[in-house]
Structure 1
């Protein structure tokens, strides 16, 4: 972690400082459109075949293995019972990947060689992994060209993860015409997975860190059945608490808190909760029967459960009922009027799905007069509330220029949001499980794989593991374990990618890397650029650093007025910076009024003095033998001090002992 620039000034004044809080989350995507974005001619109706598969149709069902060929699921989530026999090339591929994840250098080397051999035979999944190895520089000299080449071959062979990697590469190079087509294909697969898979919607990846520190609260909530809070909740459910039953069922249904999704357990808990009168379980039972999640699909039962839920004012159930009327499932016949009424009820009660479904009705002209502009407005509301299918519809609209002016850049960004919810996002769950088990090497490899595919959270997680755990990260370089230089360079690259996607903490660390020369050559100008990027995201630490650089003329023009402006701006954005900003302004006052004085030279010498002082403490005072002697000496001084204090207290106590009353000269007892 970088030290705040104000540290040296605070050291001079012998004061401890409060560091500014740093936000690590990338900025939330919010879509804001103006009238200029609309166009007068709505254009042709977009081609879409999955508009109304809200709860899924079994006719088009595909397994995740079909949607994501070469997935590492057989390694991390082996199927229960008798495993399906693999072809010889696939068996060799999975054996090689298993070795790459072993954490054993010898096995990793064997696995890399086997992957290369399999790739030469034209195995798409092996070509994809080989592209990943070239991109990382794992047991080979890093080559972006060869990485691109093998990902291209793999993508041509149908590997979706390589398509993700290529789409991200094209986006970084502003080649949006190529990126948008790849992301469109990937987003469609993701939506199909979201709609037709018996798995529930993808859970957002967990960020391992909060600034430079481990995100203990988020990790605590991701321990699954080992989490103490979940165990208490499960105990309450077993004792008959209806609300606890519903929550446990919810955790299993969506795979929350690090639990593996288990629709059978979810169904069991929901049924028990309903018997106790818990109404929210009714809606989930309706969805379970409509999706066929853990049970045989039964639309009649689905409609019955959703109707019961709606009677308890669970307005989201109206979306499912409207869907069934649109499709004519579980009801007498299709009825678009009733469907629209149910969707409107859901939307009126702030249910995001209602806005999305109304958008589809107006976009397709289903039971209503077609109105693309109104449809787009419904989609925007749904998208800004995180509805993934709304992002997909808007992406298609911007891609094709329907209702809105064609915007390839925005379409690419929207498609990417949806594509990242595809079946390959399971890598995040496996990485988190590995991290919680203490298998840092496996977690780092999985996050690195996702990082190459453009996941910002994975980029920052992988970089943080490198910075936090160093050699324990099991980072493999060109010829074995990563050297310090290789590790710093790789972390620098990952932080840079994360910063490009809006991670202000990453942008700050990139600035620190250039400022201090960590993992890259020292470059004050590029450091200033990175701090400017972090400042644009309202990062107070970056503002302070820019003020410091203006004050010292490092990478920026020497300008005390601009320095003061940045210091003041840092304080405006974070009141915790009051003390360091006050000290910095004091330094500015000294520099302005006593230029070239002894005090200015003292202040300027602190950045050079501190590393020497730190090294002396670490190498001399903290050297094992010296540290032992110093500890014993400190203990001796403490014992002598305590004994002296005890002796003095005993003397005072003796002097305060009451004297017996003696008769005075007149024979009267003393009073």
Structure 2
């Protein structure tokens, strides 16, 4: 049955995707013609999931075929263009691109649908469950202070009353061991129940469990089916995972256009949720780099350093006050958003006339928060004070006020002037808004090339909406030649900046607290979504043996898989580790030629000194490569030129190379004698690691010479 299922899965998912775009387009526009047809379609979806879990494949195919046919029929009845067709239409003024002023309206979790008043009247238990759920969501969706522990208590109470969305939160909390005990069996039980009822989030959860082999035997075919249904149901994470699979060719044929369709949907969700402040800055901590630097270069702010900043700020240091204000205003580096603290430090710094303080106070009054009442007049005053000090943040803020007529009469020419002043100083908000004005023809003649120029500049500063707008232009060929791969890469960058990216920091916290199995599962979930940093971190933890979920051989195989996916996304470290795994036979057979291939890629594409050194050694020893002393020396020299850290190992390697090359030449001169140096086999006398002994001896001699030279 499993074999038949695997053979049928590709056809099933292809058909589901055929109807899927139409399904998503209809749901997004709320244009269903018949509530009875909708009920029947949803019932068929749930039935199909049950068939996937419990019934033979033939029935599964029949149910899916009926479901897809119905969706296709409904789509044909709707005159509106399908979602997948929208991307092929020419982008006109105001369509396709995003402006931060119109994003971030509301705190609803991406992918969640708000409750409506339609449907039968709720029972007292249902009303109570809905109230508990709403309170819990408010606690975790707050832009300012998130209280997950309190929210999970409310979700658990609502779940006892059979509230489905609360059950989803509880299931994932158990799966990840985050704020609830790590209990994969309980998570599986809840997810299977909800998936059978048609929950897209639960289908995404089961897809991950089948994909990763957590609690189930790994089945990429079943994972693909569940992912497809989750994506059809509108779950952004399922859409994201499906997009990554199609773009990378994981379990499906590599199709850029299909990946573009799914990534575009997720990116639109993320772009709509962007707030003027930009949201919390997510630190993508790489565990290997953190371990190698021993915390010295950690992107997280050390608690002692944070206290030192507080000490300086309290002593009147304006720069420390600004640093703390920015940290608490936007969050990041392990510091939670706290606008009460941010307001305090900006106000204190403003007393000394600091331009940045004026600008950020303008932003806070322009946006409003639980601690700052929104006030356009006050915001305008602070922006004006900052702009008078030639502060680019204040100039961009003034531009926004004039652009939208907030606290002042609308004036596009003044908006353009202030945005230009900010952009000239490299401020990303000014660059973004100039791009939008050129794209839409607001106050200037429409110029797509200038729009691309300023969107590119803003994207270099990491602005999410700049990535999104560039992606739209590349996807539609507006102002640039249409390029699917460029559009996908840009949409992927936007999708990976959604609110779910905060899970990267959650996984790191679990790792630092010693919950390594839970951290591995959360990183694996993010790896399935296509996060390269998560793939690298999973591989690093498996490589070090930090996970107890798998046996030793399977651990190495999984690590190799994660390294291969990370390497495909450009990770130098992952490419180097793939060479090591093939060289030493970890998770695969010893294969010197494959090892050399990976080292060569790391050397040529990413200029990695370690890879160059390894290629030199393999040429020296004739392992997987032709033995060539001259090429060995060339690679050793390249490694030394590329990295200062490689210079000492290279010197020792070259000394060893020169020593044995000299011995070989000398032995040829004495070949007429009975005794020949060429007959000396170092492997026989010193064992297989003879070269390490020689290098160590040379290092000792070098150290002695350095000491003697200093004594003179």
| Band of TM-score, shorter chain | 0.7 to 0.9
- TM superposition shift of 1:483: 0.6
Gaps of 5+ in 2: 1-88, 115-132, 669-675, 694-712
Contact 1:131–1:150, Cα closer than 8 Å, also in 2? yes
TM (normalized to structure 1)? Answer: 0.75
Asked whether 1:182 is paired with 2:253, we answer no
Asked whether 1:316 is paired with 2:388, we answer no
Give the structure with the larger helix fraction: 2
Asked whether 1:90 is paired with 2:170, we answer no
Give runs of aligned pairs for residues 57-206 of structure 1, distance below 5 A: 60-64=105-109, 66=111, 77-78=148-149, 83=154, 85=158, 88-102=163-177, 107-173=183-249, 174-195=254-275, 200-206=279-285
Counterpart residue number, 1:265: 341
- TM superposition shift of 1:366: 0.9
Aligned residues: 557
Alpha carbons of structure 1 residues 320 and 348: separation in structure 2 relative to 1, 3 Å: same
Counterpart residue number, 2:296: 217
Counterpart residue number, 2:454: 378
Alpha carbons of structure 1 residues 66 and 145: separation in structure 2 relative to 1, 3 Å: closer
- TM superposition shift of 1:51: 5.0
- TM superposition shift of 1:172: 0.9
Contact 1:55–1:290, Cα closer than 8 Å, also in 2? no
Alpha carbons of structure 1 residues 235 and 144: separation in structure 2 relative to 1, 3 Å: same
How far apart in 2 are the matches of 1:189 and 1:345? 31
How far apart in 2 are the matches of 1:606 and 1:76? 63
Alpha carbons of structure 1 residues 107 and 135: separation in structure 2 relative to 1, 3 Å: same
How far apart in 1 are the matches of 2:531 and 2:193? 29
Counterpart residue number, 1:543: 612
Asked whether 1:573 is paired with 2:634, we answer no
- TM superposition shift of 1:65: 5.2
How far apart in 2 are the matches of 1:402 and 1:316? 29
Which of 503, 506, 511 is residue 435 of structure 1 equivalent to?
511
Alpha carbons of structure 1 residues 452 and 67: separation in structure 2 relative to 1, 3 Å: same
Give runs of aligned pairs for residues 232-631 of structure 1, distance below 5 A: 232-294=308-370, 295-332=372-409, 334-468=410-544, 470=545, 473-476=546-549, 482-536=550-604, 537-575=606-644, 576-577=646-647, 578-583=650-655, 585-586=657-658, 589=661, 593=665, 601-602=681-682, 608-609=688-689
Contact 1:246–1:280, Cα closer than 8 Å, also in 2? yes
Alpha-carbon RMSD: 3.3
Alpha carbons of structure 1 residues 602 and 76: separation in structure 2 relative to 1, 3 Å: farther
Contact 2:432–2:458, Cα closer than 8 Å, also in 1? yes
Larger radius of gyration: 1
SS in 1 for 2:296: helix
Contact 1:514–1:523, Cα closer than 8 Å, also in 2? yes
How far apart in 2 are the matches of 1:284 and 1:184? 32
How far apart in 1 are the matches of 2:256 and 2:692? 49
How far apart in 1 are the matches of 2:309 and 2:492? 36
How far apart in 2 are the matches of 1:462 and 1:68? 32
Contact 2:246–2:259, Cα closer than 8 Å, also in 1? yes
How far apart in 2 are the matches of 1:415 and 1:276? 43
Alpha carbons of structure 1 residues 205 and 352: separation in structure 2 relative to 1, 3 Å: same
Contact 2:328–2:342, Cα closer than 8 Å, also in 1? yes
- TM superposition shift of 1:214: 5.5
Contact 1:507–1:530, Cα closer than 8 Å, also in 2? yes
How far apart in 2 are the matches of 1:47 and 1:214? 49
How far apart in 2 are the matches of 1:241 and 1:309? 19
Whose RCO is larger (CA < 8 A, sep 6+)? 1
Counterpart residue number, 1:208: 287
